[in-house]
Each structure stands twice: as C-alpha cells, then as structure tokens.
Amino acid sequence: MTREPASGAEAQLEVPFSGRVEAGTRKAKRGGAKTGRRSEPGNDRPAARKRRRRKGPAKRGQHADVAESMASKQREISVSEFFAKNRHLLGFDNPAKALLTTVKEAVDNALDACEEAGILPEVLVRVEQLAEDRFRMIVEDNGPGIVHAQVPKIFGKLLYGSKFHTLKQSRGQQGIGISAAGMYGLLTTGKPVEIISRAGPRRAANHFHVVINTKKNLPQTLVDAEVEWEKPHGTQVAITLQGTYKKGRHSIDGYLKQVVVANPHATIIYEPPNGDKAGERIVYERTTDQAPREPREIRPHPHGVELGVFLKMLQGTSARTVRSFLQEEFSRVGNKVVQNLLQETESAGLRLTPRTPPRRISAEDAEVLHSALGRIKIMAPSTDCLSPIGEDLLVKALEKRVTADFYTAATRPPAVYRGNPFQIEVGLAYGGGMPGDTLIELYRYANRVPLQYQRGACAMTKATVELPWRNYKISQSRGALPAAPMVLAINIASVWVPFTSESKEAVAHYPEILHEIRLALQECGRRLAVHISRRRREADEEKKHSYIQKYIPHIGIALQEILGLSDRQRERTVDTLTDVLERSRKM
C-alpha cells in the first residue's frame, strides 16, 4: 500500500512546530515547484543533518591518522647532520674559503695547545695540490700532543672540547672548528682525517684515520696504530678536501702574515702548493722568545648571568646557604656585596637571610634576587683571564713585518660587556713604501686570530669608518675606510668574543666594544697626527732651505760687486752663509 505525500495543512501537522522548520519547508516547496518535482520525506533538512553527524567520526579518524603519520616522520637531528647541510654557517661557503678555513682551524688548535703547555710554538703548514680542485692540508706542531683516548673525539665529534665552559681567553670556544673541517673533507672527497700525535718522548706515537658519523655525531676510527715519528711530542693533522688555492687578500699567504703579527712568539713555516717554485718554503721567524702569559680561569660575574642560567645555578649548586652560593659560584662577591644584596631584596619585598638554602628559593623569588643583583654595585671582573699582545710586542711585530716610517700601538685598560671582561689593542704602521692613494689595510683579530671575511659586518670596521680621520691629517670619504699608506691592526682579547655567526668572522656591535675601539683609535690617531705634522713641517723647511741654498752663490756675487770683495773673500762669504743655513736647519 502506498501512501501519497501529504499536502496543505496535513503536511504541517506532521512536522514539529518550529518557525525555522516551517521556513525550510516552504523553501523546499518553492524549490519543488521550480524543478517540477514533489519534495520527498527523505529530502528534508533534518535528515541531511543526521547524515552529517554520521560522517563526523570518520573525519576525526582521518585527522588522527594524518597526525600519527606526521609524528612517525619526526626524529631528532644531530648537530653534525645539521651542519653538514648548512656548512656555510661554519665558513665553508666556497672552495677557496673552505681551504683557508681548514688551515685556520688547524693553526688555531696548534697555537692554543702550545700556549697552554708553555711551549713556544713552531708550526708547519703544508698544502699539497693533488688535482685541479683537490688539496691535502697538513699542519704539524710541537705542542704537548693528545692522549690516545681523546684523539677520535676531538677530530670526529662536533661540539666537543675543553674551552666552552671555561671563562678564560682562548682561540677556540665551541669545539666545532677542526672536526667541521674534517667533516667537510669527508663530504667532498670521502677521505678520513689523518692524525699522528705523541704525548711525550717516552710514549709511542699514535696514528689514526677518523671519520664522523653525521647521523649520530660520533667518531668512527678506521685506523688506530703505533708508528715511528721523529718528533718527541706534538700533533700532525692531515685533511684532504675540495678547494681552490689563490693568492691575494683572502689567501693562506695573507692569513699567515697576519698570524705572525698578532703572535710574535710563534714561528710559522709555510710550504705552498707546487706552482711557480716547487718546494718553496716561507719561514716567519718569531719576534720574541717570551711566551705570552697564561690566562687564568675565572668564575662568572653576577652582572653577566641571565635569569635562566641563574635559576639553573640555584638548583644545581652544592652550597647550603645563599651566602656560600653567591661567594662560591660568582666572582667579586664578598660579605659586603651579600649584605647590600639582601638589603636590596628586602626593599623589593623579599626577605632572605644569609643562611637561606638556595634550593628553597622559588622561581618568583629567584627573579627578584636576580634583578637585585643587577642593580647593586659590584667590582668589575678580574683581568687575569686575559692575555693581550702588549704595546711593545705589537710595535716590534709590525716593525718586522711591515715596512713603514712610523709605528705606534695602544692597549686600553680592561672593560666589561655583559659581565665578560675584554681588552682592546690597536697597532698602526704608517708611511714607507705603501701606496698612499688606496684604502688602508685593516687587520682584524679576535684573541690573536685574524678575521678574514665579513669585514663590513664587524664592529672593528664600524668603529674605524666612523672615526673622523681628517682630524688626524688622514683623508677619508664619507662612509669608507681612510685612504693612506697605513696598516691598522685591531685585536679584541676576551673570555667570550661575541661573534656574529658560528663561522667567527665578525665581532658583534656591542656599545662597550665600539667605545673602547674608538678610544684606542683616537689615541693612535693623535700620535699619528703629531708625526704627520712634524713631517710636513720638516718638508716645508727643507723646501725653504733648498731655495736659500740655490741663491747663496748669487748673493755672494752681489756682495762682491757691492763691497768690492776678492774671489777668495766671496767664496769665504758663501761658505759662511751655507754654514749658517745648515746650523739653522739642525736647530
């Protein structure tokens, strides 16, 4: 039995009373009239809503499957895997820069090792060209050597070193450099890093072939054997890599010339690739036999510790009281500083006693304590952690490496940025045979290490460009380095140099650092202005004397005619005038 669709009032009685449903029913009727079809009970809107509700759980299940699929693809990325894909961050942008960076990292390690052992460095740098774009870099030093167990980790693991957690001046900081160079060589040539190291004359020399596992950031030792080696102690590292050898500003030759200026205690022997002169050897003898003072490690300064680090120190300390925590974990904190700190926290609404256990201090109270530490006056950190070159040695090094007429240097007193002590040194060489119509040559150093790239982004360049060199008798265009026959060397010595990137090519623009560089440049600039003024005055006097010297014989002839002098008297008069002129010149 079939039932015909209800119409009129009967249709309205079958639907629950609702204005919204009635409106929908009327729209359905109008729609049915337009299409010429009668509306069916299964086509009403409530049924459509039921169908949508039935589809809802299926969509949620689909979203869950997508989320689980995405989660299954997520995994931890090792630091070596990251830098293998982003090696430009470490200075391996192009083949020429990669070769220079590899030499730089190996030389830095060699100099650091020798200085820590109190040994005057003697470093051999050899670059062999194996093919058009393939080189083998060998750096050998006379340092203390490396113990057997540490060799694979040092050369085959990123972020592994002994200097990251110590507050004292050193060339390396992050434990990335030499292992990253080995990783680059492995990626471009497939060759391992070759190491020979001997820790003393009574110990055997160990020979290693090491590669880095980028997925796990762990070293893999391919060769581990004892070999005969003539050196009583030291280390030799060899890396085969893809590179380009060139001369000029950004070259190994230019880099090593700058190294010996900032490291006058080191002897560098350089054997370039076989080119114009096969077997050529360049020797840069040391300027002094005095080793630099060994910097001492210091504790962090309260003004340089951020809140997150401060909270971690509070929870990890073994001290039982706030007083002992502050005095044992920080430098320059005495009883008076602790007393002033507690008074400052009390004025901020936090009551602490010297015997309060540090681990019981909440995060909110620790933030108040940290803020009070930044407000009270604390003595600047000790400078025993720094080892600057020194004015005398910097001048001697410039005199030996740069041909000039005038040399000077200035070392600023130690200063502090973010609680980290630092010291600025500036050396200057002017005149000689250097061209005077080109821009000056700027040597930038960070802890005695030459900075070769990103000159425009460095604080040293910024301070040099912004200095009004015209006040010191030097020509300068707006926004550019001065133009003069001059070499300018700037060194920052610090426990933590604020580099702008992991490649360590430029110093960040901290106001304190810029201020100290500017003061050191001004001091050298004033001395240079005095020298230039004196030379110009001497040149003017020389010009005047040459004019007088030229007319003295004519004066003698005129006097002879006027006074009726004999030839002998005339010559005697000319000699007397010449003698007076020479004496006035000496005066």
Predicted confidence at residue 35, as pLDDT, reads: 44
**What average pLDDT does the segment 211-230 reach?**
92
* pLDDT tier, 402 (very low <50, low <70, confident <90, very high otherwise): very high
Residue pLDDT, tens place only, 157-198: 887 766 666 778 888 766 688 888 999 999 999 999 999 999
**What average pLDDT does the segment 553-577 reach?**
85
Q: Can you list the domains of the chain with their CATH numbers? A: 9-73 (no CATH), 82-284 (3.30.565.10), 320-375 (no CATH), 391-532 (3.30.230.10), 539-586 (no CATH)
Tell which phi-psi region holds residue 542, choosing left (phi > 0), alpha (psi between -120 and 50) or beta.
Answer: alpha
**Which tops the pLDDT comparison, 277 or 570?**
570
- The whole-chain average pLDDT of the chain stands at 84
Residue 27 has pLDDT above 50, yes or no: no
Residue 137 has pLDDT above 90, yes or no: yes
Closest CA to 134 of 84, 86, 192, 95: 95
Q: Percent of the chain scored above 90 by pLDDT?
A: 52
Residue 7 has pLDDT above 60, yes or no: no
Contact 282, 251 (CB under 8 A): no
How far, in Å, CA of 290 to CA of 468, rounded? 37
Number of CB atoms found within 10 A of residue 412's CB: 17
**What average pLDDT does the segment 578-586 reach?**
73
Predicted confidence at residue 174, as pLDDT, reads: 66
**Which tops the pLDDT comparison, 33 or 52?**
52
Q: Percent of the chain scored above 70 by pLDDT?
A: 86
* pLDDT tier, 362 (very low <50, low <70, confident <90, very high otherwise): very high
Pick the most confident of 36-40, 86-90, 448-452, 542-546.
448-452
Residue 285 has pLDDT above 80, yes or no: yes
* pLDDT tier, 485 (very low <50, low <70, confident <90, very high otherwise): very high
Predicted confidence at residue 570, as pLDDT, reads: 84
State how far the alpha carbon of 280 is from the alpha carbons of 139, 271, 276, 339, in Å.
16, 6, 9, 66
* pLDDT tier, 585 (very low <50, low <70, confident <90, very high otherwise): low
**What average pLDDT does the segment 397-423 reach?**
91
Residue pLDDT, tens place only, 303-321: 888 899 899 999 889 999 9
Closest CA to 436 of 409, 404, 468: 404
How far, in Å, CA of 44 to CA of 22, rounded? 11
Residue pLDDT, tens place only, 67-105: 888 877 777 777 788 877 888 778 788 899 999 999 999
Contact 531, 406 (CB under 8 A): yes
